[in-house]
Amino acid sequence: MNRDEKAAAIAEIATQIQESEAVYAVDYRGISVTQAAELRGRLRDADATFRIVKNTLTERAADEAGADGLKSLLAGPTALTFVRGDAAVAAKALRDYARTTNDLLAFKGGLLGAEAVDADQIRSIAALPARDVLYGQLVGVVASPITGLARSLGALVGGLAIALGGVLEKKESGEIAAGDAPAAETPAETPDQDAEPPDSGTPQEVQPDQAEGEDTDVQTETQED
């Protein structure tokens, strides 16, 4: 590789670092060309690229990209996965492929955004649900109290509408005069005291508040007889 080719490779790696949401460094010792191609196919779902690079070129590219966190990982055979899509899906793909190849591709560390992450943190990222699943869970959590509030307000407004409708009907029927406030509860109907008692054949019990008026009626009838 001549000087121009090295410069082009460094610029390309620097661009990949800058455009990536995450960069994972792994030890690629023992992986075959066929296995590397198979892994690249699995990483496409996360919009990620697996690339075996020379440490010296990557170190210079890290300097250009301002990614100092990668430089300490460039010891021994190192391959980089540049993730432009879902960081969790890419980490999961690397982890699962390592399990199927007798623990090849051991994590060394990497970057998540601008923050350096170690091997344990990448394994924790691999255990996370995919981004769309997390978004769905978040929407469910946020929407639940809003739904409950909407239902409560709907029930309140509905109850108020029913109550106002009842008041309007009573006003139209004359049960409530205009300007009168409706009572909290409708009192039970009381018998009309001016109406004649039903002729049941037995004398009606005289109430204390009716005694004076009924005595007067009895005296009048006696004088007429």
In whole angstroms, what is the distance from residue 32 CA to residue 215 CA? Answer: 122
Position 101 scores a pLDDT of: 82
In whole angstroms, what is the distance from residue 45 CA to residue 130 CA? Answer: 11
Taking only the tens place, the pLDDT of each residue in 30-55 is 889 999 999 999 999 889 999 998 99
Position 146 scores a pLDDT of: 52
Q: Which two tokens stand for residue 149?
A: 């509030």
Position 180 scores a pLDDT of: 52
Residue 170, exposed/middle/buried by CB under 10 A (0-12, 13-18, 19+)? Answer: middle
Lowest mean per-residue pLDDT among 37-41, 70-74, 105-109, 154-158: 154-158
pLDDT category at 223 given cuts 50, 70, 90 is very low
Lowest mean per-residue pLDDT among 81-85, 109-113, 148-152: 148-152
| pLDDT over 90, % of the chain | 47
Position 1 scores a pLDDT of: 78
Position 195 scores a pLDDT of: 46
pLDDT category at 174 given cuts 50, 70, 90 is low
**What mean pLDDT do residues 84-99 have?**
92
Please list, in sequence order, all residues whose beta carbon lies within 8 angstroms of the beta carbon of residue 25, skipping any fewer than 6 positions away.
70, 73, 74, 78, 79, 80, 81, 107, 108, 109, 110
Position with higher pLDDT, 140 vs 105: 105
**What mean pLDDT do residues 203-211 have?**
44
Please list, in sequence order, all residues whose beta carbon lies within 8 angstroms of the beta carbon of residue 79, skipping any fewer than 6 positions away.
25, 26, 27, 28, 31, 50, 51, 52, 53, 105
**What mean pLDDT do residues 46-73 have?**
93
pLDDT > 80? residue 91: yes
Position 168 scores a pLDDT of: 59
pLDDT category at 64 given cuts 50, 70, 90 is very high
pTM: 0.59
Cβ pair 39, 93 in contact under 8 A: yes
Of residues 197, 225, 10, 22, the one with CA closest to residue 121: 22
